[in-house]
Amino acid sequence: MTSLPATPDPDWTDPRDRRIAELEAENGRLKRIRDALIQRVESGVTHKPDPYAAFEHSVVLAEQVRERTDALNGAMDRLKASNKALERARQQAETTHQRLVDAIESISDGFVLFDQDQRLVLSNSRFDSYWRYTGERVRRGATVAEVKAKAVRSGLIVEEHTEPDAEGSVFLLANRRWVQMTETRTREGGLVLLYSDITDLKHSENLRREQALAEKSRLLQSAVDNLSQGVVLVSPDGCPEIWNDRFLGLTGLSPQQVSSDTDLSAVMADASVPLLLPAPGPAAEAPYAEQIHRRADGLVLEIKSHPMLGGGFVNTYTDITESYRYAETLAESERWVRLVTDHVPALIAYVGADQTMQFCNKVYEGWYAAGRPSLLGLSLEQVYEPALYRRLLPRVRQALAGESVTFELEETGREGRRHYMLRSYVPNRDARGTVVGLFVLIRDITDRRRTALALEQAYDHLERRVKERTAALTGLNNQLRQEINERAAVEARLRDAKLEAERANLSKTKFLAAVSHDLLQPLNAARLFTSALQEQAFGPRAEGLVRSVATSLDDVENLLGTLVDISKLDAGVIQADITVFDLRDLLNNLAREFRQLAGTEGLRLDFVPCSALVESDSQLLARILRNFLTNAIRYTGNGRILLGCRRQGQHVLLQVWDTGPGIAADKLSEIFQEFKRIEPAGRQADKGLGLGLAIVDKIARILGHDIHVDSVPGRGSVFSVRVPLATHRPRPAVCQDCASVPHESFGGARVWVIDNDPAICQGMATLLAGWGCEVLTAVSLADLDARADIASDAVDLILADYHLDNDETGVDAVTTINARRRQSVPVLMITANYSNALKQDIRDRGYLLMNKPVKPLKLRSALHHLLQ
């Protein structure tokens, strides 16, 4: 380096100095011209010219000399003024230069100035002090590159940090001071370098960074401690760096066993839960490892191992016991559904909106698998033969458009025979009403079709024979009697064939009615688990999944319940229990139940109370009115619905009015047919099988009540059921449907649950425990006797399933229990049996009866009633 210069650089000479030098040179040249002219005049006299000419010539020369002298005097005056101005400018320049030097010296930063040729012109003592520890000096005239090279070579710069977004470069000097260099260009193309000492700032920044890291570490540990999962962060050398108490609890380790200087693999070798290592490969590419581990005590953990970029890994341990058991219960429910559908003689399948097979029973696979292991995932085009697929495609598209389709189709079976198949396509809709697939039900009606054809041929044959015999009636009277006998025999055979077909169809419906108990068992358990999960506090995503599962179970329950109801009605399983009762409670309950539902659809439900006494089955009559109200709400876009009654002689008409789109007169007879739905034009179709009014028609036939429909398209409809009035007062009955109660806790009520299905026992225990009950479950009376002292242990209520194992019934079990106790315990009997005999027997014993599947809200109301 060099010190500041004492005098200005020649390159800084003022332009006025150059102008003065030029004027002095011009002045000297004019003096030489003047001297030459004078000498010429003087020398010209010696030649003795004409006196007048010489005089004239001298006058001219004298005038020229005078003019030149005046010009020279003016130039000299201007030269003197310029010299004075130049002197003042030089003094000002020296003053300015000195002030600049003083200013550069006064700043605390190192200052270096390079000219347009990148050579050093100025530097201050602060910059020179940087070189003091190296023994080097930077002299004037050195280039920027030379200065930088000397700084690196001499060891002045220890470290250099350059960031693209930073204002300049940062250097660590040999004296352990940090400086920041900034560059600025001058107007003439030169370069100004400033070296600012940022050592204190650097130290403060490092201190803040260390404090921030410490705070982040504290927050990280606090966050980990508050996680519901067990978490452990393992360093590259296998030692734990961060862990929480949940990790210790799930793995069974004590706080003394785990520290930051222990080998975690060795410690967890004896733990009840393994240490999961991440998958091999780069951390940025390798996926996390995952494992499901069941502890000896039944706790199920989900273990995940995530690799880290800097080495090491993170293990998380999540308790998934409840969800794992719930998944097992759902799988068991699915197994039961498949078991039922696989033993139904009809072909059952479910096809997605993309025409891919998502479910089919064994009978369906037997028809169309053709040696393939499975049809699931295949498109309909792959499942069927090309010709059959082309015939079915329009109907499939019609169903996916939202219309239920039932049609007959002739096709060739596996053995090469021609079969007549009755196909029903029912669209499946999601919560928004979008068709997401279709249910397929196929029945082989070959025998029925052949019987119909035979009957038709027989009638044709008989008519032809009658015509032939009529023409010859006179002479063939005896032969006519023989033909009449033949016709009677044929008709008898046809009746037998028809009865055989009806018996075959009845056997299928009886089968579905008989399996209702086994079918509703897993659905009942799944509903209990779902209700228990809905009362737990999970995250929004998990709660949404639980609600979706509950909705899906409701859809499955409604679908199977409707099919089973139709089958039971056809099979004659359901019988009317005619009693005398007051319409007041029935209609009030229906009005409360559907007023809220109508409000959610933007409708108003009006209700006219009625206290008439009628003779009917209250539950079956309520089912008819519920279907009327459900259809009214479903098909009424806006307006209101009216529920009421009017007397008509010895009968009363229970009516449901609506302001919906109405039904055409030619469609009124079709709405009571199975799988028949009338969708108003311009209205989006909704979910349903089209069985609601078919069930109403069958129940009305059982009860002997008349159903009547009046409708005006565009204005609305009215559905009526005609019920006879009672001739005597009803006897008091045990409360079966108790009013709803608030969702308060039952305050430690002690409940015994007896059910032969462990899944239902577990689901009921979970649900009742969530309501504040102390629950004891058993699969039989012997199991309960082994778990508790039946005679003396305190109990407030017994919940018993009617059907138990080994021909034991819930009635037998609770009878034995109450016989051993000094005071009888209230009993709630649960069953899937809808027979009137069982209902009357339970009622006579003073027990409360509830049918499966159990609704949690109804169960809570019944418990509140019994415990009160």
Residue 176 backbone zone (phi > 0: left; psi -120 to 50: alpha; other: beta) = left
What string of H, E and C letters represents the secondary structure of 438-453? Answer: EEEEEEECHHHHHHHH
Query: What's residue 735's pLDDT?
Result: 43
pLDDT band at 567 (very low <50, low <70, confident <90, very high): low
The more confidently predicted of residues 556 and 296 is: 296
Predicted confidence (pLDDT) per residue in 67-93, tens digit: 877 877 887 787 788 778 777 777 777
Buried/exposed 127-148: b ≥16 CB within 10 Å, e otherwise: bbebbeebeeebeeebeeeebe
Neighbours of 253 (CB within 10 A): 20
- Give yes or no for a contact between 202 and 178, defined as CB atoms under 8 angstroms apart: yes
> Which of 860, 802, 851 lies closest to 564, judged by CA?
851
Tokens of residue 19, six digits = 């102008």
Neighbours of 849 (CB within 10 A): 21
Query: What's residue 202's pLDDT?
Result: 75
pTM over 0.85? The answer is no
Query: What's residue 394's pLDDT?
Result: 92
How far is the CA of 334 from the CAs of 329, 551, 852, in angstroms?
A: 9, 16, 18
Mean pLDDT, the chain, as a whole number? Answer: 77
The Cα 430–Cα 461 span in angstroms is 53
pLDDT greater than 70 at residue 163? no
> Partners of 183 in the beta sheet?
193
The Cα 295–Cα 250 span in angstroms is 9
Cis peptide before 164 (omega within 30 of 0): no
Residue 548 backbone zone (phi > 0: left; psi -120 to 50: alpha; other: beta) = alpha
pLDDT band at 723 (very low <50, low <70, confident <90, very high): very high
Predicted confidence (pLDDT) per residue in 346-385, tens digit: 888 899 989 898 888 888 887 887 778 888 888 888 888 8
The pLDDT of 205-225, averaged and rounded, is 72
How many C-alpha atoms does 275 have within 13 Å on its Cβ side?
A: 21
What string of H, E and C letters represents the secondary structure of 291-310? Answer: EEEECCCCCEEEEEEEECCC
Among the listed ranges 179-183, 387-391, 672-676, which one has the minimum average pLDDT value?
672-676
State what percent of residues in the chain have pLDDT above 70. Answer: 78
The pLDDT of 183-205, averaged and rounded, is 79
> Partners of 383 in the beta sheet?
none
Burial of 743 (0-12, 13-18, 19+ CB in 10 A): exposed
The Cα 153–Cα 547 span in angstroms is 74
Tokens of residue 417, six digits = 């025979």
How far is the CA of 501 from the CAs of 450, 490, 492, 565, in angstroms?
A: 11, 16, 14, 21
Query: What's residue 737's pLDDT?
Result: 44
The Cα 462–Cα 459 span in angstroms is 5
pLDDT band at 223 (very low <50, low <70, confident <90, very high): low
The more confidently predicted of residues 573 and 126 is: 126
SS3 (DSSP) at 493: helix
Maximum average pLDDT range among 418-422, 521-525, 744-748: 418-422
> Partners of 828 in the beta sheet?
799, 848
The pLDDT of 642-647, averaged and rounded, is 90
Tokens of residue 57, six digits = 């010539």
Query: What's residue 704's pLDDT?
Result: 86
Query: What's residue 266's pLDDT?
Result: 77
Among the listed ranges 502-511, 600-609, 665-674, 730-739, which one has the minimum average pLDDT value?
730-739
The more confidently predicted of residues 479 and 829 is: 829
The Cα 576–Cα 378 span in angstroms is 47
The pLDDT of 732-750, averaged and rounded, is 56
pLDDT greater than 80 at residue 744? no
SS3 (DSSP) at 110: strand
Among the listed ranges 12-21, 45-54, 288-297, which one has the minimum average pLDDT value?
45-54
pLDDT greater than 80 at residue 785? yes
pLDDT greater than 80 at residue 676? no
Angle at 362 between CA 357 and CA 365, to 5 degrees: 50
Place of tokens 């559907």: 594
pLDDT greater than 70 at residue 832? yes
Tokens of residue 457, six digits = 């041929």
Query: Which residues touch 406 (CB under 8 Å, ≥6 apart)?
Result: 422, 423, 424, 425, 675
How many C-alpha atoms does 798 have within 13 Å on its Cβ side?
A: 27
- Give yes or no for a contact between 349 and 359, defined as CB atoms under 8 angstroms apart: yes
Q: Interhelix angle for 583-600 vs 618-635, to 10°?
A: 20
Predicted confidence (pLDDT) per residue in 396-420, tens digit: 999 999 999 998 888 877 667 788 8
SS3 (DSSP) at 288: coil
The Cα 809–Cα 828 span in angstroms is 13
